[in-house]
Amino acid sequence: MLTFKTYNRKKTVIYSCVMVAMLVCLMFRLVYIMVYESEYLGRKADEIHERERYIKAARGDITDVNGNVIATNKTVCTISVIHSQIENPQKVIDLLSEKLSMDRTRVKELVEKVSVREKIKSNCPKSIGDEIREYNLSGVKVDEDYKRYYPYDDMASKVLGFTGADNQGIIGLEVQYEKYLKGKDGYLLTETDAGGIELENVAEKRVESVKGNTLRTGLDINIQMYAQQAAGKVYKMKKANYVSIIVMNVNNGEIKAMTNVPEYNLNSPYELTDEFMCEGEKEQDLLNRMWRNQCINDTYEPGSTFKVITATAGLETGAVKLSDTFSCPGYKMVEDRKIRCHKTTGHGSETFVQATMNSCNPVFIEVGLRVGVDRFYEYLGKLGILSKTGVDLPGEASVIIHKKENVGQVELATMSFGQSFQITPLQLLRAVSAVVNGGKLITPHFGVAVSDCEGKLIKQFDYKETGGVIRKETVDDMRYVLEKVVSEGGGKNAIVEGYNIGGKTATSQKLPRNSGKYISSFIGFAPASSPEVIAICIIDEPEGVYYGGTIAAPVIKELYENILPYMNIDKSY
């Protein structure tokens, strides 16, 4: 009996200790919740009773160098419904299907879907959003939003790029400068009951959105217009595959215009233009081709315009002088290869200046061989041919060229007149700029500065420059020779009355060599004695006459006739 009582007493003590321990733990837990987690749990409670709606930020504008807006925003509306708040579903379905011109079955499906918030349609014109708002139907929400808008439609489309459904940059400058342009979203908080119904007469919490910053570019809409018009004219006349023109400040790399015709409408970037309608191909492949910027995304064999680089290397290394005399029989033997001149009967005896004016292949082969592989590649590097330009656009292509150790006499010979390797048009423009601007290798670019929506400067962009890549004597000689090419040689069709123009023509045969397809081009700068602007025109697969001096040089002539007076560049005579 005593043993039984002792056992019960021990059992009671154990149970009591357990209960006390549990009460102590519970007390500590309550203290922890009330003191240490009160703020967190308060926030969670608020979240349960608050409905958050984002207020999209307006994207920053893009302007040209003069402040003209070339990319901005339009106010649009997003129509959505909150299922728990809808009082008259039939009326909501009727109204939205009518005003939004949507299939009634689809609207009914969205309205009756049980969800916290269901989007019916986005990017609606503001006028329609205002009409729907006036009906004041329970459960129907009209939120204002922004859609990217391009006032000039297709101008510089392959440079500017466009944005996606949520207003983020997709390609071009829009994606390159996304972090400056995107802005900061705001939000709107409304109080609800446990069923998710918004409470009346309860103040809303509102945090306003912040508009993105403004990007100022070096583009000039007037120069861009002239370039696009000139490119479009020759594109139609020669029924070309495409026509590209770049206009750049030769001294600091600011790109004033870049066009690739045919362009596309930035306000409807997913609509294929007539030129890209092709049965049997995937639509996305066609769109990618339509959006492609040939000036930086594609490479090509530059042909005779590259002789500017070979001549520079020859003069720099002392392999040739302007007064040197050569003889052109119409071809040159390199090892076992007979490489012909475009003039099959030959140019006969000619100086180096005359050979450049005549664009004589055998002479430039001789100069290239004199320079040699090592020094030739040294100047390709100095003039930026072996590296990307660093332009502020995504997707820049790299040079396609032989490894130096694999270059023999034949390869060096063909490279000397611009064949057997490929570069981008912008790479060539940059290299020739260094030759004529005083020997300074610049970085081509669009972005100039970023400012906030009130105009306060946030960032001024700086770009790498490398001076002294060639001697002043070589610069003077090349300016003289290239001016002769235009005034007396193969570039005569680029003469602009009152101005001294320097430049070089090219007609390069596309691979395979027997395809009968050509690329015609001309690169020119002005004024020849003290350059301020440089431009290149490339015509891909023109029909009929295809010589660069005949069809590409006149394009730059027309362009310069318009833009040189506009740029306040004084006439030389």
pLDDT digits (tens, 9 = 90+) for 510-521: 988 888 999 999
Give the pLDDT score at 198.
Answer: 55
Which of 304, 359, 420, 508 is an active site residue? 304
Instruction: Answer for the pair 548, 506: CB distance below 8 angstroms, yes or no.
Output: yes
Instruction: Tell me the whole-structure pTM to 2 decimals.
Output: 0.88
Give the pLDDT score at 71.
Answer: 98
Clarify whether 304 is annotated catalytic.
yes
Give the pLDDT score at 34.
Answer: 73
What is the full DSSP assignment across 41-99? HHHHHHHHTEEEEEEPPPPPPEE-TTS-EEEEEEEEEEEEE-GGG-S-HHHHHHHHHHH
3 state SS of 300: strand
- The two tokens of residue 169 are 């940059």
Local mean pLDDT, 10-residue blocks, the chain (573 residues): 59 78 81 70 56 78 97 91 87 91 91 85 88 89 88 97 90 97 81 55 68 97 98 97 98 98 96 87 94 97 98 98 96 94 94 97 98 98 98 97 97 97 98 98 98 93 96 98 97 97 96 91 97 98 97 98 96 88
| Residue 538: partners with Cβ closer than 8 Å, 6 or more residues away | 243, 244, 245, 294, 300, 425, 519, 520, 521, 552
Long-range contacts of 264-273 (CB under 8 A, 24+ apart): 264/154, 264/157, 264/158, 264/290, 264/291, 265/153, 265/154, 265/157, 266/71, 266/150, 266/153, 266/154, 266/157, 266/160, 266/162, 267/149, 267/150, 267/153, 269/157, 269/162
Q: How far apart are CA 263 and CA 228, in angstroms?
A: 9
Give the pLDDT score at 52.
Answer: 62
Radius of gyration of the chain (CA): 34
Residue 329: half-sphere exposure toward Cβ, Cα within 13 Å: 5
* Domains defined along the chain, listed by start: 51-195+202-217 (3.90.1310.10), 221-566 (3.40.710.10)
Give the pLDDT score at 26.
Answer: 82
